[in-house]
Chains A and B, each alone.
Chain A
Amino acid sequence: MEIKIFKNFFKRVFSNLFNNKKEIKLGFYGPPNAGKTSLANRICKDFTGEEIGTVSKIPHETRSVQFKEKVEISFKGKKMTFKMIDTPGIATKIDYEDFLKFKVSKKDAKNRAKEATQGVIESIKWLDDMDMVVVVLDATENPYNQVNITIIGNLVARKIPVLIVANKIDLKKTDIKKIEAAFPEYEVVGISAKYGDNLEEFYESIFKLSKKV
């Protein structure tokens, strides 16, 4: 009897220790140029002082999965540790000629396109490894894009908690209501990763969502 109580006590203590120190794998998914890396950078910079990756106006700037481990986010007296996973944008087509518009050489454009296709494949493979996911959408674009639906459908199928972020609220063309109408079952948080607008609500939602992990 005493041994059993002793065992249970240690089990509880170690279980609590483990849970508190557990790193939640937080993925950033979405179509190219929605602002996944900008948002991940903003969070990492705020809490670690370092960025996770480079951002650019050229689509598919992130062409391989990038990590930042042990990112401790503090919000309203609460703390949680995350492994931030920034993924390449998912697209159904990649044409090297699209990169030429950004004054990239033909050779670099072809290389970029090749890496971007690999990036999409890598992003899809990583879906299985996420604890929770932030789907970053460009609030100035039409949300009824099959890529968005496919990403969210795959997260639902894997029972991975999802938060939808409508990025670029600093732009005039922003239409958050359209995103809310497209995904009525999800909480949609409008932010500007570029200027750090409304991040308080974002962190609040992240902490709330982490309870489902």
Chain B
Amino acid sequence: MTDKKRGLGKIKGFTIQFLPYSEIRDLNSDERIKKILNIILTNNILILQGRLIPTEEARLIGDTMAMVGYVKEFKGIELAVISGNDKEGFFGKMTKGLANAIAGGDFSAMTIIGPATIVKEMKRNPKKIELLLNR
């Protein structure tokens, strides 16, 4: 895909795309990250059912950074994960997340990823995620 097609120049609008976990369940880590970045690079805010495993999240950040400066106007992403039960604490969720990842996804979680050109900030607290958009 060329930079022109991605159209990250002047932001005229954006769409919110929902991706059910079934769409990435059978993909390997490389394919998952490629799919996510392709959605983000076409000015979409992605709402993913479930979450990536921590190593995939780190990989997503690394691959995102590799694209900054190479894809026109791309400045990176904003990313937030919210999970169903916050009483467990992050470690509980992470452990559960790893177990769920093996079993096929943590469905109680939701991941929101948006291009930094559109999403200025994602404010997260245990109960909610707020998206502040760039004008």
Q: Interface of A with B (CB < 8 Å)? A: 90-95, 113-114, 117-118, 120-121, 124-125, 127, 142, 144-147, 149-154, 156-157, 181-186
Contacts and interface: CB of A to CB of B under 8 A. Distances in A.
B54 A94 contact: no
B54 A157 contact: yes
Contacts of B105: none
A154 B55 contact: yes
A70 B92 CA distance: 36
Interface of B: 53-55, 57-59, 61-62, 64-66, 68-69, 75-81, 89-92, 94-95, 97-98, 116, 122-126
- Looking at chain A's contact residues, is the secondary structure mostly helix, strand, loop, or mixed? helix
A114 to B, nearest CB: 5
A15 B76 CA distance: 47
A113 B68 contact: yes
B124 A145 contact: yes
Contact of B58 (A94, A114, A150): A150
Given A124-B62, A156-B54, A93 B77 contact: yes
The 7 closest A-B pairs by CB, nearest first: A93-B76, A153-B54, A185-B91, A93-B116, A117-B65, A144-B124, A184-B89
Contacts of A154: 54-55, 57-58
B113 to A, nearest CB: 9
Contact of A94 (B59, B65, B97, B123): B65
B124 A127 contact: no
A117 B69 contact: yes
A185 B79 CA distance: 23
Contacts of B61: 90, 92, 120, 124, 147, 150
B65 A120 contact: yes
A150 B125 contact: no
Nearest to A147: B61
Contacts of B62: 120-121, 124-125
A157 B59 CA distance: 14
Contacts of A156: 54, 91, 94-95
A95 B66 CA distance: 13
B124 A146 contact: yes
Given A144-B124, A144-B125, A149 B69 contact: no
A39 to B, nearest CB: 22
B57 A183 contact: no
Contact of A157 (B55, B69, B116): B55
A147 B77 CA distance: 11
Contact of B81 (A92, A118, A149): A149
A117 B90 contact: no
6 contacts: A95-B76, A113-B68, A117-B65, A117-B68, A142-B125, A184-B91
